[in-house]
Amino acid sequence: MSSQNPVFIPGPTNMPEVLRKAIDMPTLDHRSPLFAEILHPALAGVKRVFKTTTAEVFIFPCTGTGGWETAITNTLSAGDRVLAARNGMFSHRWIDMCQRHGLEVVVVDTPWGEGLPAERYAEILAADTGHTIKAVLATHNETATGVVSDIAAVRQAMDAAAHPALLLVDGVSSIGCMDFRMDAWGVDIAVTGSQKGFMLPAGLAIVAFSRKALAAVETAGLPRTFFDIRDMEKGYTANGYPYTPAVGLMNGLKVACDMLLAEGLEAVFARHRRIAEGVRRAVFAWGLDLWAARPELYSDTVSAIRTPDGFDANRFVTLAMEKYGVAFGTGLGELSGKAFRIGHLGSLTDVMTLSGLATAEMAMADLGLSIQLGSGVAAAQDYYRSEPGSVRMAAE
C-alpha cells in the first residue's frame, strides 16, 4: 500500500520535509551543552506559540495524555473537586483520568456537537461559595466532534463568580492551528502534544504552567514522579532533564516553532481557516452536515461529518484506506458508525485537501451514498480560487 498520500486523520498530521530532517540526527549527549542549544530555544518557541510571556513550559517524552496527567497530578489532591463538561471523547477521557486519580468530578453532560457550556459553569461556580472546586477543565477543541469552544467565555464565567479555581485547558488539537491565548484568557495550564499543530511524530507532551498553577504545585497531594514538574525545573536549570529526553523530537519542536513563527501565527490560523472552509463547503455540497451544531462551533482543524441514518460510517473509513490508501478518522464513542472525520490541520495545502475531498467522494459513491462525483471538490475549488492564500508554508 502506498504511503505517499497525505493523511486526513486529526493527528498525527502530515510532516513537512524540514521537520522530518530536523528529527533525523545523530545521537548527541543530552548532558552536554549541545542539548542546551536545543532545549532553551524549544522552550522559548513554545511560549510564543502559546501566547504567554509569564508561564513556564515543560516538555515530557510521552503523548498528550501524559500532559493531562501532568496538569492534574501537579496541582490537585485526592478528593479535590473539579468541574468538567463532557461533550466528546477527549473531554470524556480527561474526566475518566481525573476519576481514576481519586478526584471528584462535577460532570456537566453536554450533547456531542455542542461547545463547553460556559453559562452552566458560571452557575455552578457561583453556587460553590465555599470554593470546593479546585479546577475547571476545558477541552478547547473537541477532536471527536469537530467543535471549538470559547475559552475566553469560560474564563469570564470564572471571573464573574470571582472563583479562584485553576483553569486547565486541553489545547491538543488547537494550539499551533487556531488562535490560542494563554495569558489573555487566563489559562493556568495549557496542554498539547507534538503530533498535531507542531507537525511532528507523537512523543512529546508540551505543557505550560501559569504562576498560579506553579504555586499550587507546592500543596498538591496527588502522587507524581515521572511527571513532577519540580524535577523537570531542576533539570532545565542545569540544561538537562531528570531522565533521558527525546532529543530528536525536541530538535524537531525547536524547528517547528521557528516555522510557525516565521509564517506568522495569524497567517497559520488564516491558512487553517481557509482550508477548513473549503472542506465545509464540500460537505454541504454533498448534501451532508457536520456534527458541530452551529457555525461558531466549527473547528478549523477537524470536521466530523454526519452520515445518513442506516449507513455505517466505519465502512467508509475502511474502504478509503483499503481501496485508495487514504486515511480518514472514524467516529469515536457515541459517534462510532455515525460519523467520519476529516483532519485538516498541520502541514496541508489547498491542493492536498482537494485530493482528500476527491477520495472521499469516490469512497462514498462506492458505498452507494447518493453523492455527485466532483460536487464537493468543485465547491472547495470555487472557494479556494476566490480566497487565494499563500501556496507555501514558511521555510517549507
Ligand X SMILES: *Cc1c(COP(=O)(O)O)cnc(C)c1O
Residue 252 interacting with ligand X (CB under 6 A) = no
Asked if 314 is part of the footprint of ligand X (rule: CB under 6 A), the reply reads no
Q: Tell me whether residue 11 or residue 245 sits nearer to ligand X (CB atom).
A: 11
Residue nearest to ligand X (CB): 64
Q: How many other C-beta atoms are found inside a 10 Å radius of the C-beta of residue 294?
A: 11
- What would the 3-class secondary structure string for 286-314 be? CCCEECCCCHHHECCCEEEEECCCCCCHH
Which of 6, 8, 9, 11 forms a contact with ligand X (CB under 6 A)?
Answer: 11
Report whether 145 contacts 87 (CB < 8 A). yes
Task: Assess contact for 141 and 303: CB atoms under 8 A.
Answer: no
List alpha helices for the chain, DSSP H: 17-23, 33-49, 64-75, 89-100, 118-127, 151-160, 211-216, 229-237, 247-263, 265-285, 313-324, 350-366, 375-386
Nearer to ligand X, 269 or 311 (CB): 269
**For the chain, what's the residue count?**
396
Closer of 63 and 381 to ligand X (Cβ): 63
CA pair distance 11, 199, nearest whole angstrom: 9
* Residue 23: CB minimum distance to ligand X, A: 17
Q: Which residues contact 185 (CB under 8 A, 6 or more apart)?
A: 151, 152, 155, 167, 169
The answer to whether 145 touches 292, Cβ cutoff 8 Å, is: yes
Write down the least CB distance from residue 173 to ligand X, Å: 4
Report which of 295, 345, 17, 38 is spatially closest to residue 171, judged by C-alpha positions. Answer: 345
**8 part of the interface to ligand X, by CB under 6 A:** no
Closest separation in Å from C-beta 291 to ligand X: 15
Taking contact as CB under 6 A, which single stretch among the options 138-146, 263-271, 322-330, 340-348 is the one that binds ligand X?
138-146
Q: Can residue 90 be called a binding residue for ligand X (CB under 6 A)?
A: yes
Q: Does 64 bind ligand X (CB under 6 A)?
A: yes
Question: Least distance (Å) from ligand X to the CB of residue 61?
Answer: 12
Site string for ligand X, 193-212 (x = CB under 6 A): x--------x----------
Q: Which residues pair with 106 in a beta bridge?
A: 83
Cβ-based nearer residue to ligand X, 193 or 252: 193
**Does position 330 bind ligand X by CB under 6 A?**
no
Nearer to ligand X, 64 or 356 (CB): 64
Question: Cβ 236 to ligand X, closest distance in Å?
Answer: 22
Site residue total, ligand X (CB under 6 A):
13
Give CA–CA dist 356/275, Å, rounded: 12
Cis amide prior to 12 (ω within 30 degrees): yes
Q: Which of 52, 70, 74, 143 binds ligand X (CB under 6 A)?
A: 143
In this complex, which beta carbon is closest to ligand X, that of residue 35 or of residue 185? 185
Backbone Cα Rg of the chain: 21
Q: For the window 162-191, what string marks contact with ligand X as x by the rule CB under 6 A?
A: --------x-xx------------------
Contacting residues toward ligand X, per CB under 6 A: 11, 63-65, 90, 139, 141, 143, 170, 172-173, 193, 202
